[in-house]
């Protein structure tokens, strides 16, 4: 009998009454909120065949994992993934055995907090078809005994802390379909010896390690139907391995950061690719002219940080399935194509750090689900086109380091209500800062630095609630309109109780998008932040303009702000007295203005401040003291204020003890 109570919002301990249902052979309690210890009656069960306790909050197993493996002798499938197990729950004695040697076919402990070495006696589970230990903190080597699991079809050890070499014994797993060992710290050489008898392999996921991939040029692999290849960060010694040309079914190919040089390999376009990542290599020359015709189903094209040159081809507009395009960090020149159409589903365009010129084409406004537009650090000119207001789902708009002119458009605040990051720094924008920007309630980064902006700082900036601690928005999301095949490559999940998975499912995490970068000046240093870091980074940078007036007291309402840079303007008046209420502030730069009065005592409440610059103003009085302020001992941060006194300046204040 099957008892399915999954995804029912159940909580607390597993009801003991369930142990009276002796006819139950399949028990599914997954996706609930059970948070107790897995009870002994389950551990000792002689009748359960399929047990799914995944996606709960279990922390312990009464008697321990080894007790379960030695007593629940009828188990065929055991899923404990997505719980809160910690510690070395798989630690065992050399001679420990299990009654599940031939019965257990499916074992998943993925997405827990388990540590320790992988025990050699995992090789005793001779009936295993699926072993998923991914996303834990296992360390040490991969046991060579895993090569004895002759029935194994899916092996997933990815996202751990494993070290050492990839055992050649894994090449003896004659039934293996999916080999997933990515995102560890494995090292050494991977060669044809690791794949000797893997005739059925369809998923090869060994990326994000420290491996050197050395294959003989004449090697013909035993597998012919690879669909998913992730060999990122594997050093290929400058060239693509010839054996990849023998694979005709590849849909996902990630060979990023693989030390590959030379021209774009045209032969790749014979594959039915939908995800191609060759970023962070040394690929040179121009882009092929026929990609749209050869791989019309392409959804993800990542060629950033190479040495590509020439112009952007118009075929980019013909890829109707394309969702993510990253050509940043190359030497591409000429204008951005003007052929973008409203039937395209692009939601990420990254053309930053190239040599592009001309204006932003109005046709980009046809891309109505565009969420992230990076065209910073080019030679683009003209005004920001009104058509961009049609991109109402925009979350990142990065147009910095160009020569755009005109004013900061009011439509940004009126139409782009989902904007998280607005970056227009180092352009030639003029006029005042429009108050309409205050409508951007989810904004986390506002950078208008190094332009020719005049006027005052809008008081309504205090309404930027995305910069208030209790309202800091969650992760930048994918558009609802994007189909699930758009995600970047990760290994397929093997946590479903099936032993027949042979090809990777469309990936489903943010791994590549967390590499997406935005440049910001923080603590006086020009840095690049990944999207993951930007979730925690709230910044306002208005430096290097011609702003006048006071610093609005309303800015102090932004308790989630990490960085505030108003330097190199013509601001006057006092530093706001409530500045100490900006609880998250780490970097504050008010230098090179006309500020006067004393430094507010409340500044001593800034417990995270690590970068402070108040130099070259007209400040006076005693420098406040406080726990964190006392650590800022560089006198230059107060220099150029003739009437300031007290530590760390050499000038003593009246009444200070001369001793």
> Model confidence over 78-137: pLDDT tens digits?
999 999 988 887 776 655 556 767 789 999 999 999 999 999 989 989 999 999 999 999
pLDDT of residue 4 exceeding 60: yes
Residue 516: the pLDDT is 54
As to burial, measured by CB atoms within 10 angstroms (0-12 exposed, 13-18 middle, 19+ buried), residue 56 is buried
Which of 365, 414, 356 lies closest to 385, judged by CA? 365
Each residue's pLDDT tens digit, 294-320: 999 999 999 999 999 999 999 999 999
pLDDT of residue 335 exceeding 90: yes
Cα–Cα distance measured from residue 61 to residue 38, given in angstroms and rounded to the nearest whole number: 5
Q: Distances in Å between the alpha carbon of 493 and those of 110, 157, 417, 489, 658? A: 9, 11, 35, 12, 70
Query: Is-contact 100 75, C-beta < 8 A?
Result: yes
Q: Is the dihedral of CA 523, 526, 533, 398 positive or negative?
A: positive
Residue 103: the pLDDT is 87
Backbone phi and psi for residue 182, each to the nearest 5 degrees, phi listed first: -70, 165
Cα 40 to the center of its chain, rounded Å:
40
Q: Is the dihedral of CA 240, 243, 248, 249 positive or negative?
A: negative
Residue 343: the pLDDT is 82
pLDDT of residue 487 exceeding 60: no
Which bin fits 108, alpha (ψ -120 to 50), beta or left (φ > 0)? Answer: beta
- Adjacent-strand bridge partners of 12: 34
Which of 209, 198, 258, 205 lies closest to 228, judged by CA? 205
Helix (H) or strand (E) holding 309: strand 307-311
Quote the strand ranges of 53-117, DSSP E. Answer: 77-79, 86-87, 106-108, 113-117
Residue 206: the pLDDT is 98
Which of 435, 425, 386, 433 lies closest to 404, judged by CA? 425
User: What is the band of 279 on the pLDDT scale with cuts at 50, 70, 90?
Assistant: very high
User: What is the band of 598 on the pLDDT scale with cuts at 50, 70, 90?
Assistant: very high
Cα–Cα distance measured from residue 132 to residue 491, given in angstroms and rounded to the nearest whole number: 11
Mean pLDDT across the stretch 279-284?
97
Helices (H) and strands (E) in the chain, counts: 5, 47
User: What is the band of 68 on the pLDDT scale with cuts at 50, 70, 90?
Assistant: confident
Residue 94: the pLDDT is 58
Cα–Cα distance measured from residue 546 to residue 529, given in angstroms and rounded to the nearest whole number: 27
Mean of all residue pLDDT scores within the chain: 89
Query: Is-contact 341 315, C-beta < 8 A?
Result: no
Mean pLDDT across the stretch 451-465?
96
pLDDT of residue 658 exceeding 70: no
User: What is the band of 533 on the pLDDT scale with cuts at 50, 70, 90?
Assistant: very low
Residue 529: the pLDDT is 47
Residue 290: the pLDDT is 85
Mean pLDDT across the stretch 488-505?
38
pLDDT of residue 512 exceeding 50: no
Whether cis (ω within 30° of 0) applies to the bond prior to 152 is no
Query: Is-contact 628 609, C-beta < 8 A?
Result: yes
Q: Tell me what percent of the residues of the chain surpass a pLDDT of 70.
A: 88
Residue 323: the pLDDT is 96
Q: Tell me what percent of the residues of the chain surpass a pLDDT of 90.
A: 75
pLDDT of residue 556 exceeding 60: yes
Residue 71: the pLDDT is 77
Q: Distances in Å between the alpha carbon of 249 and those of 222, 227, 228? A: 15, 5, 9
Which of 573, 564, 616, 563 lies closest to 598, judged by CA? 573
Cα–Cα distance measured from residue 570 to residue 88, given in angstroms and rounded to the nearest whole number: 61
More confident residue, 526 or 394: 394
pLDDT of residue 475 exceeding 80: no
| CB crowding 420-442: b at 16 or more within 10 Å, else e | bbbbbbbbebeeebbebbbbbbb
Each residue's pLDDT tens digit, 199-242: 999 999 999 999 999 999 999 999 999 999 999 999 998 899 99
Which DSSP category does 343 fall into? Answer: T
What domains can be seen in the chain, in order of their start residue?
Answer: 1-162 (3.80.10.10), 454-476+517-645 (3.80.10.10)
Each residue's pLDDT tens digit, 164-178: 999 999 999 999 999
Which DSSP category does 139 fall into? Answer: E
Residue 503: the pLDDT is 37
Mean pLDDT across the stretch 1-19?
90
Query: Is-contact 568 451, C-beta < 8 A?
Result: no
Mean pLDDT across the stretch 532-557?
86
Residue 98: the pLDDT is 66
Which DSSP category does 280 fall into? Answer: S
Residue 479: the pLDDT is 41
Backbone phi and psi for residue 81, each to the nearest 5 degrees, phi listed first: -70, 155
Cα–Cα distance measured from residue 221 to residue 299, given in angstroms and rounded to the nearest whole number: 28
Residue 381: the pLDDT is 98
Mean pLDDT across the stretch 41-64?
88
Query: Is-contact 234 209, C-beta < 8 A?
Result: yes
Residue 325: the pLDDT is 97
Secondary structure (3-state) at 601? helix
Residue 655: the pLDDT is 81
Residue 498: the pLDDT is 36
User: What is the band of 509 on the pLDDT scale with cuts at 50, 70, 90?
Assistant: very low
Residue 93: the pLDDT is 60
Residue 90: the pLDDT is 76
pLDDT of residue 501 exceeding 50: no
């Amino acid at each position: 009998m099957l008892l399915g109570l999954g995804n029912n919002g159940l909580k607390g301990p597993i009801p003991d009454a369930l142990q009276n249902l002796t006819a139950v052979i399949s028990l599914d309690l997954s996706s609930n909120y059970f948070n107790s210890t897995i009870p002994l009656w389950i551990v000792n069960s002689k009748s359960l065949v399929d047990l799914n306790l995944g996606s709960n909050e279990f922390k312990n197993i009464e008697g321990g994992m080894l007790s379960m493996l030695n007593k629940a002798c009828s188990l065929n499938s055991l899923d404990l993934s997505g719980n809160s197990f910690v510690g070395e729950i798989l630690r065992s004695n050399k001679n420990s055995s299990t009654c599940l040697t031939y019965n257990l076919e499916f074992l998943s402990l993925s997405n827990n907090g388990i540590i320790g070495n992988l025990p050699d006696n995992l090789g005793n589970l001779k009936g295993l078809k699926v072993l998923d230990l991914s996303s834990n903190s296992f360390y040490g080597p991969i046991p060579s005994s895993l090569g004895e699991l002759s029935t194994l079809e899916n092996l997933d050890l990815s996202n751990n802390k494993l070290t050492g070499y990839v055992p050649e014994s894994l090449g003896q797993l004659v039934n293996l379909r999916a080999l997933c060992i990515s995102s560890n710290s494995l090292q050494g050489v991977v060669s044809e010896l690791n794949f000797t008898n893997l005739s059925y392999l369809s998923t090869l996921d060994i990326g994000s390690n420290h491996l050197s991939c050395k294959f003989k040029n004449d090697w013909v692999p035993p597998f012919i139907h690879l669909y998913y290849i992730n060999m990122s960060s594997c050093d290929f010694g400058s060239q693509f391995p010839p054996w990849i040309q023998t694979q005709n079914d590849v849909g996902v190919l990630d060979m990023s950061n693989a030390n590959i040089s030379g021209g774009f390999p045209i032969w790749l376009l014979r594959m039915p690719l939908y995800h191609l990542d060759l970023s962070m290599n040394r690929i040179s020359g121009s882009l092929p002219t026929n990609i749209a015709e050869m791989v019309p189903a392409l959804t993800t094209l990542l060629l950033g940080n190479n040495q590509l040159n020439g112009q952007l081809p118009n075929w980019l507009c013909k890829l109707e399935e394309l969702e993510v395009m990253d050509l940043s960090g190359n030497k591409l020149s000429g204008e951005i194509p003007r052929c973008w159409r409203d039937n395209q589903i692009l939601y990420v365009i990254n053309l930053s750090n190239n040599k592009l010129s001309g204006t932003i084409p109005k046709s980009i406004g046809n891309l109505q689900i565009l969420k992230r537009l990076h065209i910073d650090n080019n030679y683009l000119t003209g005004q920001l086109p009104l058509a961009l207001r049609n991109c109402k789902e925009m979350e990142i708009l990065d147009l910095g380091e160009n020569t755009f002119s005109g004013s900061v458009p009011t439509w940004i605040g009126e139409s782009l209500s989902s904007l998280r990051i607005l970056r227009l720094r180092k352009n030639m924008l003029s006029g005042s800062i429009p108050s309409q920007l205050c409508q951007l309630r989810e904004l986390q980064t506002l950078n208008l630095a190094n332009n020719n902006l005049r006027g005052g700082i809008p008081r309504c900036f205090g309404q930027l609630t995305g910069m208030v601690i209790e309202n800091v928005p969650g992760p930048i999301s994918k558009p609802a309109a994007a189909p699930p095949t758009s995600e970047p490559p990760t290994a397929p999940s093997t946590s479903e109780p099936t032993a027949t998975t042979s090809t990777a499912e469309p990936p489903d995490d943010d791994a590549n998008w967390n590499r997406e970068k935005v440049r910001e000046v923080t603590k006086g240093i020009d840095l690049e932040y990944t999207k993951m870091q930007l979730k925690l980074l709230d910044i306002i940078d208005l430096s290097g303009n011609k702003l006048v007036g006071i610093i609005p007291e309303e800015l102090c309402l932004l308790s989630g702000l990490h960085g505030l840079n108003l330097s190199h303007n013509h601001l006057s008046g006092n530093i706001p007295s409530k500045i100490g209420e900006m609880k998250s502030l780490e970097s504050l730069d008010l230098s090179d203005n006309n500020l006067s009065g004393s430094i507010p005592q409340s500044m001593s409440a800034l417990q995270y401040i690590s970068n402070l610059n108040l130099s070259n103003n007209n400040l006076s009085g005693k420098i406040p003291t406080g726990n964190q302020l006392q650590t800022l001992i560089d006198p230059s941060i107060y220099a150029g204020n003739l009437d300031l006194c007290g530590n760390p300046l050499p000038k003593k204040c009246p009444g200070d003890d001369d001793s």
